[in-house]
Amino acid sequence: MRRKEKEAAEVTKDVKEVTNEGEKAVEHGETSSAEASATNGAQNGDLQVEPMELPPFEIITGDRIDPFVFKFQFKNVEYSSGRNKTILCYLVDRGNTMDGLLRGFLEDEHAGTHAEEAFFTQCLPHCDPATKCTVTWYVSSSPCSACTAKIAEVLKSRKNIKLSIFAARLFEWEEEEIQAGLKALHAAGCKLRVMKPLDFSYTWDTFVESDDQPLNLWEDCKENYEFYHEKLADILE
Ligand SMILES: [Zn+2]
């Protein structure tokens, strides 16, 4: 909250500068969204409606995954028995210093809305088409065929979004439907990669409640990566 209020105050100051020094208006011309949030900030200040100010992604951002859950869900074993959910860690860079980098994670039970779809509805519901938006996902498994179709649609209709997906495991990669979905996603401009041992360490440091303990990679991590990497290369070639 405090940070928001401070930003709003700074924006208000900028807007005042524009008013006072007419010549600088051009420089500040691109802050129309900033002016809008300054107006919102003032309104919210009057009305004291604090919780409504936060979009959903800010609630998720800052949450960290339980280390035991991470080690189980992200383990890149060949057969993923018992892992009936997807955990999706995300980084969103809108190249805008005011918004900064968004970080967080989503998880689903496969019965409900999948994490991939929830990301676009909950974390990135609005994204200014004029703003380049670089999104990186680290997912415990690659998307199902329904999700690959939905993601491809989003990428086609929102050209400002660049998406890279790093997956610990390939979900049902032997299925033709899945392979077709991954190809369509690739064709839609999505970068698809299998997580390397280094990616697991990075994800652990970035998204897990690790208490500064390093991740001890499991014995066959590299071998499993190589296995999935080869499968993905065959599918996408
Ligand atoms: Zn799905």
State pLDDT tens for residues 21-80: 333 333 443 444 444 444 444 444 444 444 444 333 332 334 799 999 999 999 998 876
- Domain positions in the chain are 2-43, 59-236
Active site residue 116: yes
Q: For residue 105, report the distance from its CA to the centre of ligand 1, in Å.
A: 16
Q: For residue 118, report the distance from its CA to the centre of ligand 1, in Å.
A: 10
pLDDT band at 95 (very low <50, low <70, confident <90, very high): confident
- Report the interhelical angle of 221-236 vs 197-207 (nearest 10°): 110
Q: For residue 229, report the distance from its CA to the centre of ligand 1, in Å.
A: 20
Task: Determine the Cα–Cα distance for residues 73 and 95; give it in Å rounded to an integer.
Answer: 31
Which of these, 131, 203, 194, 184, lies nearest to 164 by C-alpha position?
A: 194
Q: Is the pLDDT of residue 187 over 50?
A: yes
The CATH label, of 3.40.140.10, 3.30.360.10, 3.90.1640.10, 3.30.420.10, for the domain at 59-236 is 3.40.140.10
Q: Which of 10, 30, 116, 209 is catalytic?
A: 116
Which of these, 60, 59, 187, 207, lies nearest to 140 by C-alpha position?
A: 207
pLDDT score, position 181:
97
Of 9-18, 45-54, 125-134, 153-162, the one with minimum mean pLDDT is: 9-18
For 105, how many CA atoms within 13 A lie in the half-sphere containing its CB?
22
> What pLDDT digit, counting tens, does each position of 113-126 carry?
889 998 998 888 77
- Is 228 exposed, middle or buried, given 0-12, 13-18 or 19+ CB atoms closer than 10 A? buried
Task: Determine the Cα–Cα distance for residues 42 and 34; give it in Å rounded to an integer.
Answer: 12
Q: For residue 185, report the distance from its CA to the centre of ligand 1, in Å.
A: 13
Q: For residue 145, report the distance from its CA to the centre of ligand 1, in Å.
A: 7
Q: For residue 72, report the distance from its CA to the centre of ligand 1, in Å.
A: 19
